[in-house]
Amino acid sequence: MITENELRALVGHRFPGGHYRIAHWENWLLTDCTGRAPMPDDLAHPVVLFHAPILGAGTSIAELFRLGQASGAGSVGLESYDWEYFEPLREDVEYRVEGSIIEAERTVNDIGNIVDRVAFQIEMYDGEMLAARVTNRWKFRRELLHADTR
Amino acid sequence: MVHIGDVIPSWTMDSVDPARMKTMAAILRDPYPVHWDRDANVAMGLAGRVINQGPLNLGYVVNMLLDWAGPTCIRRLTVSFARPVLDGDVVVAGGRVTTINVHNDELRAHCDVWLERDGERVVVGTAVVALSNNFAESL
């Protein structure tokens, strides 16, 4: 299991950064997955703010799992999202993306299991304009001492 | 016209679809098998079920807001995830206006939002939504 010092050392880890262009096909499929008809006027469905920042920042869900040393099914859970939209996101716009891990702390939940909480923040820029910012908090469950699917 | 305390028209997903989870996993490049491999969830006591992606759960709340206030209305979403949503679940997104203000000449509604399954809130949070001129009499 990752040590507490290793966990704390994640704070400040910067993702490589890069660019992301939301393709029509992925926006169409993503929107369909939510159960909605396609968005009008090349607008991206707001839920694009999950994967576009992660991939655009040059990282991936798999790498985030590795950084947090996830240990298998049920070991990772979502804590919270804070997503800010400063302009509507659109298909085929090249966004510059950058971000880092901003928080990492070890906690013990109310039934005695160790839960490490890790937060990362990523910003998407349209030219020099900040278009969107996400702050996502994930929890990594360690050594399941008690049955817990939260 | 929008008032503090107004209830946002709900949005229902009649049955959370495991096929959509697979498509979503591919779009997200999500290697977490709990979303597409029923056998992976045996250890969690969920044999035969797969867990919906958090972004999809939030997507139902988003769809409710877009239907209410238009396709470019969302300014901020802050949510936490209380319980997993599984394939076959019926979930209903709901919301209520808590505050109305003006920010940089834009009329905005601050709302409590949630996603419910059988009356249990599985996602809870807040949303900031821009109100179009159609709502201009709100203040």
- How far from chain centre, in Å, is Cα B98? 17
Q: Does residue B31 sit within a domain?
A: no
What is the per-residue pLDDT for B48? 82
Residues of A in Cβ contact (< 8 Å) with B71: 39-41, 43, 88
List chain A domain ranges: 4-142
Q: Do B80 and A39 touch (CB under 8 A)?
A: no
Chain B: closest CA distance from residue A127 (Å): 19
CATH level 3 topology of A4-142: Thiol Ester Dehydrase; Chain A (3.10.129)
Q: Does residue B106 sit within a domain?
A: yes
Distance CA B85, CA B31 (A): 18
pTM score above 0.90: yes
Query: Domain range spanning residue B102?
Result: 7-16+51-138
Distance CA A78, CA B84 (A): 9
Distance CA B54, CA B45 (A): 19
Q: Do A46 and B62 touch (CB under 8 A)?
A: yes
Domains contained in chain B, number: 1
CATH at residue B79: 3.10.129.10
Task: Tell the residue number behind the tokens 């920010």, with chain if given.
Answer: B103
Chain A: closest CA distance from residue B22 (Å): 9
CA count, 13 A, side-chain hemisphere, B3: 2
Q: Does residue B125 sit within a domain?
A: yes
Confidence of residue A145 (pLDDT cuts 50, 70, 90): very low
When pLDDT is averaged across residues A106-111 and rounded to a whole number, the result is 89
Distance CA A117, CA A7 (A): 9
Name which of A34, A43, A47 is nearest B72 (Cβ-Cβ). Answer: A43
CA-based nearest residue to A105, from A114, A94, A93, A96:
A114
Distance CA B115, CA B124 (A): 7
pLDDT one digit per residue (tens) for chain B, 139 residues: 899 999 999 999 999 999 999 999 999 988 888 898 888 788 778 878 999 999 999 999 999 999 999 999 999 999 999 999 999 999 999 999 999 999 999 999 999 999 999 999 999 999 999 998 656 555 5
Residues of A in Cβ contact (< 8 Å) with B31: 61-62, 65
When pLDDT is averaged across residues A115-124 and rounded to a whole number, the result is 96
Question: Quick one: DSSP state of residue B94?
Answer: E
Name which of A32, A47, A150 is nearest B58 (Cβ-Cβ). Answer: A47
CA-based nearest residue to A74, from B80, B117, B40, B83:
B40
Q: Does residue B105 sit within a domain?
A: yes
Q: Does residue B22 sit within a domain?
A: no
| A90 contact B CB<8A | no
What is the per-residue pLDDT for A142? 87
Token pair recorded at residue A146: 């008690």
Which ipTM score applies to this complex?
Answer: 0.93
